[in-house]
Amino acid sequence: METILSLALSAAAEERAASPSLTAGYNGKERTWELIVRHFGPLAGMLEELNGGGSKETGSAGPAKVEELLDNYAILTVPESQVMAAAAYPQIVYVEMPKRLYFAVNQVRSASCIPAGQAVGTGSVYGPALTGRGVLVAVLDSGIDYFHEDFRNEDGSTRIALLWDQTLGKIFTKEMINEALAAGNRQDAGLYVPSEDGSGHGTAVAGIAAGNGRESGGRYRGIAYESELLVVKLGTADPLGFPRTTQLMRGLDFAVRYAAAVGKPLAVNLSFGNTYGSHDGTGLLETYINSAALYGRTSIIIGTGNEAARGGHISGVLTGHGPVEIELTVSDYETGLNVQLWKHYADEFGIMLIAPDGRRLGPLPPVIGPQTLEYGGTRILIYYGEPSPYSAAQEIYFDFLPRGGDYMAAGIWKFRLIPERIVWGRYDLWLPPSSVLNQATRFLGATPDTTLTIPSTARAAISVGAYDSAYQSYADFSGRGFTRTNEQVKPELAAPGVNLTAPRAGGGYAKVTGTSFAAPVVSGSAALLMQWGIIDGNDPYLYGEKLKAFLIRGARHLPGYDFWPNPQLGWGVLCVQDSLPR
């Protein structure tokens, strides 16, 4: 099992309750865990054992349930008392807990206070024939304002093939949405299809990728404006309102299976992520995305997040010449945070924590398993992990929790790394996404590289950074590569992600900024290329890695960079015209 799951299972109930990161996937009311597993062979025997010799059918009634996904991945729901028994089952290879997903929105979103910019996709560079016709664009996000004119045909009917609202547990067909639209207004339409986009994030993403600009008379038209939409509103069973990686996996499984069943090429847009993981593409979510990308005629596009300038990552190389100190400043009123320290398992070094008043905690014994430190009103849960079957990396996880109050100790905390036996030497530390921390909480001397959010580290994905097309410059918030240890080129390319005009939930348009909105520029562009290749018969294999290669070949270079690819912009910035064979 992964490190954070092992810590969650070993933590006391009150410690888990104080740490949102340790409760993702746990249902306190039913005392069950939702887990991501990789397996080989059938799981019916395991279900029969866990359910006391009852049902043998996958997904059947009983305390333990399995949802089979593509390529021997599954989502397992089991009572907490049976997690260890399930993990020990011979067919189970590896187990991870879900992680919260955070929509990658930069702080600039309001239409009223952002300077006007050029709308996406209105130029003739794409050619009049390339509109995304015949291609499915899947948007897995916060939902969609299906009533918005930009997602309707000229006769007023919907362009949405299916809308799966995971929060409602319902799938709405094109016919059902058309019936709702016939009601004539949003309020009455909600009586037929009560799915809403509360944050507006998914509506903006869908509009940039595939909106037809109908509400603006075509002025704010998206990229693949004649494509068909497949929308998954990710569930938010989490009490804090964040979807989890298990809901993403369900949504992706649904999308690729549907596209294969109807025989259409598929561009999938994912505009969210988190910072938990080794950032080398070896987690189960990332490897599952690699598998899903091989199913049907699929291309998966993911934004790299907005963490580069927020001080949430620091790295370095430890040698045998003395200890290294890493400084973390924690602002007042921080309700808690976690720190991941990743290193190669072959490296051995001691770790000491130095509290804000100079008190030394440790050094920690490097023993696999949980440890606890106390400092005033702060409790620190620590877990030394092990390598997985997919990675030689070792994680040491620190969870800082308030003890006897609402906030952890503020000030400058130091991590002292004391070399003992160094083989590789590299270390990386990550904080949670900046959206859940106070702005002043950050590493001093932070490293902006390797700030890709997960799952944009997935090898088979097209990972997209953001640049400011008005100034022809990299957007400093955009998550940077390369991936940790294996130096995989991520992002592959960048797209406009500053001051884009996008449909607003409830009607009208707004200016948006972030890699959330650069990714759908590429998703829509992928649909254009797939139309040219697959639908129009120019290249029936233009999807997946081949489509990625076409986009990389057409990427153009911005001034001011000495080498390409680079961690900020990958191979360059999107240029659809040059990506098409001459």
Question: Does 101 fall in a domain?
Answer: no
Looking at residue 574, its amino acid is L
Mean pLDDT of 497-525: 95
The domain that holds 191 is classified in CATH as 3.40.50.200
Mean pLDDT of 465-478: 95
The domain that holds 419 is classified in CATH as 2.60.120.1290
Question: Does 71 fall in a domain?
Answer: yes
Last residue of a domain, one of 37, 72, 96: 96
Regarding whether 428 and 512 lie in a shared domain, the answer is no
Cα 153 to Cα 155: distance, rounded to the nearest angstrom: 5
Question: Does 18 fall in a domain?
Answer: no
DSSP state of 178: H
Residue 525 predicted with pLDDT over 60: yes
Mean pLDDT of 354-379: 95
Residue 158 predicted with pLDDT over 90: yes
Residue linked to tokens 């298990």: 246
Last residue of a domain, one of 420, 443, 466: 443
What pLDDT is stored for residue 326 in this prediction? Answer: 98
Regarding whether 229 and 151 lie in a shared domain, the answer is yes
Residue 237 predicted with pLDDT over 90: no
The number of distinct structural domains making up the chain is: 3
Cα 154 to Cα 190: distance, rounded to the nearest angstrom: 22
Cα 40 to Cα 577: distance, rounded to the nearest angstrom: 44
Regarding whether 167 and 66 lie in a shared domain, the answer is no
Mean pLDDT of 457-468: 97
Mean pLDDT over the full length of the chain? 91
- Model confidence pLDDT, tens digit, residues 42-63: 998 898 888 886 444 444 445 8
Q: How many C-beta atoms surround the C-beta of residue 65 within 10 A?
A: 21
Regarding whether 158 and 288 lie in a shared domain, the answer is yes
Nearest to 96 by CA among 87, 109, 106, 85: 87
Mean pLDDT of 308-333: 96
Q: Which two tokens stand for residue 374?
A: 């106390």
Regarding whether 249 and 134 lie in a shared domain, the answer is yes
What pLDDT is stored for residue 106 in this prediction? Answer: 33
Regarding whether 277 and 175 lie in a shared domain, the answer is yes
Question: Does 3 fall in a domain?
Answer: no
Give the three-state DSSP class for 539. Answer: coil
Last residue of a domain, one of 389, 410, 443: 443
| Confidence label for 241 from pLDDT (cuts 50, 70 and 90) | low
The domain that holds 91 is classified in CATH as 3.30.70
Asked whether 502 and 508 are in contact (CB, 8 A), the reply is no
Give the three-state DSSP class for 364. Answer: coil
What pLDDT is stored for residue 313 in this prediction? Answer: 98
- Model confidence pLDDT, tens digit, residues 94-145: 999 999 887 654 322 222 111 222 233 333 444 447 999 999 999 999 999 9
Regarding whether 381 and 242 lie in a shared domain, the answer is no
Question: Does 131 fall in a domain?
Answer: yes
Regarding whether 428 and 303 lie in a shared domain, the answer is no
Beta-ladder partners of 544: none
What pLDDT is stored for residue 20 in this prediction? Answer: 84
Mean pLDDT of 488-506: 96
Mean pLDDT of 278-300: 97
What pLDDT is stored for residue 522 in this prediction? Answer: 96
Beta-ladder partners of 352: 416
Mean pLDDT of 468-492: 95
Mean pLDDT of 197-223: 95
Question: Does 365 fall in a domain?
Answer: yes
Regarding whether 431 and 335 lie in a shared domain, the answer is yes
Mean pLDDT of 380-388: 96
Regarding whether 322 and 226 lie in a shared domain, the answer is no
The least confident of 120-124, 538-542, 544-548, 571-575 is 120-124
What pLDDT is stored for residue 129 in this prediction? Answer: 73
Residue 498 predicted with pLDDT over 70: yes
What pLDDT is stored for residue 104 in this prediction? Answer: 56
Asked whether 246 and 67 are in contact (CB, 8 A), the reply is no
Beta-ladder partners of 400: 337, 380
What pLDDT is stored for residue 238 in this prediction? Answer: 53
Could you give the strand order of the β-sheet that contains 411-421, starting from the edge strand earlier in sequence?
360-361, 348-354, 411-421, 324-330, 442-443
Beta-ladder partners of 184: none
Question: Does 412 fall in a domain?
Answer: yes
The least confident of 84-88, 91-95, 122-126, 268-272 is 122-126
Could you give the strand order of the β-sheet that contains 337-344, starting from the edge strand earlier in sequence?
313-317, 426-430, 337-344, 393-402, 378-384, 369-375
Mean pLDDT of 192-201: 96
Regarding whether 436 and 475 lie in a shared domain, the answer is no
Question: Does 360 fall in a domain?
Answer: yes
Regarding whether 231 and 174 lie in a shared domain, the answer is yes
Mean pLDDT of 68-97: 94
Domain that holds residue 460: 111-308+453-579
Cα 219 to Cα 214: distance, rounded to the nearest angstrom: 8
